[in-house]
């Protein structure tokens, strides 16, 4: 029987734990921060993070230490660390769990991250609908300022830091890092042309790294227990634990912490308890709404970045949506593509026009207005969007269309005009 491996959730899983500063410190919180800021140089801390193999938990899975090593140095400009806490991917809610239930784990990670990249003013860009999380972070940051854990010469070290919480305005596109930076600067959130990359010219045209909540929350463990301990928890090239959000037709929905490389089917059955209806699993969306769908026969797979990539999908934001046999895949796809048509920023023609064409064509197909050859047209539109947009949003909307039709085509044909 699979059990959780508790690293990020070790405090949260204590029944009486409320996430206060006092409780966090009683459990050893901020000791790593005090030690690192007083005794280590940023370069030495960065080397540990690189050795740990920590990969970004926001979706791309890019090595965090490598990302930070790319940041331009000696530019005469300040460096910035921006946390992407927007979490707008449908089916995803893992970062919210940390912000609400153990905010100081994240804030300690944020302080450590800022120290490593040489940032004296960090930003936390929070999804605008996360009212409680915004309130919690602002309150706890104020507590840290009062206790001199933020501000000048933190913990008696030369390092100083100010953290600012910035609520987003509800745009899914602002989950893309350059659109987020434009929004943070007070502009309309639109993805930027790259290069230059944020590591060279990001927030206010200065060297910037954008990392998500879960990624930063791993830093206290890595810099305390060491990179070897972190590597020992996961699978090759997929180090550490990962928070998985189970939703949909599952008996025990919620966020669970497991080692990288645990079996996806086992996670669903042992932690999720199987389907809530008792019916068979029909399909699983493994990484939020943008990830290609898996049939029930494909979910006996290691749940990590590389294993899922090998079978043509992705772990993404780790939002696992379980679908039982009552689900109409074509109707679900219409709902998914309607979301992406609505959220397109409109900057790129293939995405702006293509997403809406997909929505219209699919809706008409489900209304019985077209023959089965229309399905091929829908796939063709999706493939013409893939790889032809400034940011990954186009791919995020097109990939579900291609995979749903490829794996469940007879269901689409059943709606077609005879």
What digits encode the pLDDT tens for the residues 365-374? 999 998 989 9
Residue 2 lies inside a defined structural domain of this protein:
no
Query: What percentage of the chain carries pLDDT values higher than 90?
Result: 95
Structure token pair of residue 84: 């992407």
Out of 295, 324, 353, a domain closes at 324
- The pLDDT tens digits of the residues spanning 394-410 come to 999 999 999 999 999 99
For residues 75-97, average pLDDT? 94
Q: Pairing state of beta strands 281-285 and 254-259?
A: unpaired
> Are residues 199 and 295 both part of a single domain?
no
Amino acid 340: pLDDT: 96
For residues 271-276, average pLDDT? 96
> Are residues 51 and 133 both part of a single domain?
yes
Per the listing, tokens 């042309």 go with 193
Amino acid 15: pLDDT: 94
- CA dihedral (198, 348, 130, 8) positive or negative: negative
The Cβ of residue 75 has, within 10 Å, a number of other Cβ atoms equal to 13
For residues 182-194, average pLDDT? 94
Place 59 in a pLDDT band, splitting at 50, 70 and 90: confident
For residues 113-119, average pLDDT? 96
> Are residues 198 and 301 both part of a single domain?
no
Amino acid 397: pLDDT: 95
> Are residues 295 and 397 both part of a single domain?
no
**pLDDT beyond 90 at 157:** yes
Place 170 in a pLDDT band, splitting at 50, 70 and 90: confident
- Domain, as residue range, for 409: 329-413
> Are residues 298 and 342 both part of a single domain?
no
> Are residues 115 and 204 both part of a single domain?
yes
**pLDDT beyond 90 at 61:** no
Residue 104 lies inside a defined structural domain of this protein:
yes
Domain count along the chain = 3
Place 117 in a pLDDT band, splitting at 50, 70 and 90: very high
**pLDDT beyond 80 at 417:** no
Out of 204, 231, 258, a domain closes at 231
Rg (CA), the chain: 22
**pLDDT beyond 80 at 418:** no
Residue 9 lies inside a defined structural domain of this protein:
no
Residue 139 lies inside a defined structural domain of this protein:
yes
> Are residues 347 and 376 both part of a single domain?
yes
Q: Pairing state of beta strands 80-85 and 121-126?
A: parallel
Chain-wide mean pLDDT for the chain?
95
> Are residues 358 and 255 both part of a single domain?
no
Amino acid 377: pLDDT: 94
Backbone angles phi, psi at 392, to 5 degrees: -70, 0
- The pLDDT tens digits of the residues spanning 10-35 come to 999 999 999 999 999 999 999 999 99
CB 382 within 8 A of CB 398: yes
Amino acid 60: pLDDT: 80
Out of 199, 231, 263, a domain closes at 231
Place 91 in a pLDDT band, splitting at 50, 70 and 90: very high
Residue 16 lies inside a defined structural domain of this protein:
no
Cα atoms found within 13 Å of the Cα of residue 359, Cβ hemisphere only: 17
Place 209 in a pLDDT band, splitting at 50, 70 and 90: very high
197 Cβ contact partners less than 8 Å away, ≥ 6 residues apart: 70
């Amino acid at each position: 029987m699979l059990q959780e491996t508790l690293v990020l959730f070790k405090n949260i899983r204590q029944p009486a734990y409320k996430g206060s500063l006092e409780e966090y410190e009683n459990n050893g919180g901020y000791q790593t921060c005090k030690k690192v800021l007083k005794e280590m140089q940023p370069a030495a801390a960065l080397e540990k993070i690189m050795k740990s193999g920590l990969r970004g938990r926001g979706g791309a899975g890019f090595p965090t230490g490598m990302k930070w090593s790319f940041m331009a140095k000696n530019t005469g400009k300040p460096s910035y660390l921006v946390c992407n806490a927007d979490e707008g991917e449908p089916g995803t809610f893992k970062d919210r769990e940390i912000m609400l239930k153990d905010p100081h784990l994240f804030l300690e990670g944020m302080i450590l991250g800022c120290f490593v990249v040489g940032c004296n003013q960090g930003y936390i860009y929070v999804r605008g609908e996360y009212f409680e999380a915004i309130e919690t972070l602002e309150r706890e940051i104020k507590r840290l300022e009062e206790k001199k854990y933020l501000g000048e010469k933190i913990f008696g070290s030369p390092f100083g830091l100010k953290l600012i919480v910035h609520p987003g305005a509800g745009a899914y596109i602002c989950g893309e890092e350059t659109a987020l930076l434009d929004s943070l600067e007070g502009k309309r959130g639109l993805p930027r042309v790259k290069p230059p990359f944020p590591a060279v010219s990001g927030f206010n045209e200065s060297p910037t790294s954008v990392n998500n909540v879960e990624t930063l929350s791993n830093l206290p463990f890595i810099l305390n227990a060491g990179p070897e301990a972190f590597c020992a928890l996961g699978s090759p090239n997929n180090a550490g634990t990962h928070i998985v959000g189970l939703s949909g037709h599952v008996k025990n929905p919620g966020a669970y912490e497991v080692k990288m490389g645990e079996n996806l089917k086992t996670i669903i059955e042992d932690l999720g308890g199987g389907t809530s209806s008792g019916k068979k699993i029909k399909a699983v969306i493994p990484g939020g709404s943008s990830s290609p769908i898996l049939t029930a026969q494909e979910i006996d797979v290691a749940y990590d970045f590389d294993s899922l990539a090998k079978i043509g999908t992705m772990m993404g934001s780790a939002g696992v949506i379980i679908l039982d046999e009552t689900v109409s895949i074509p109707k679900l796809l219409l709902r998914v593509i309607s979301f992406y048509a609505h959220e397109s920023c409109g900057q790129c023609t293939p995405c702006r026009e293509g997403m809406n064409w997909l929505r219209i064509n699919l809706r008409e197909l489900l209304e019985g207005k077209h023959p089965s050859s229309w399905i091929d047209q829908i796939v063709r539109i999706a493939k013409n969007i893939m790889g032809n947009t400034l940011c990954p949003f186009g791919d995020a909307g097109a990939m579900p269309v291609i995979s749903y039709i490829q794996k469940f085509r007879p269901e689409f044909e059943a709606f077609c005009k005879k």
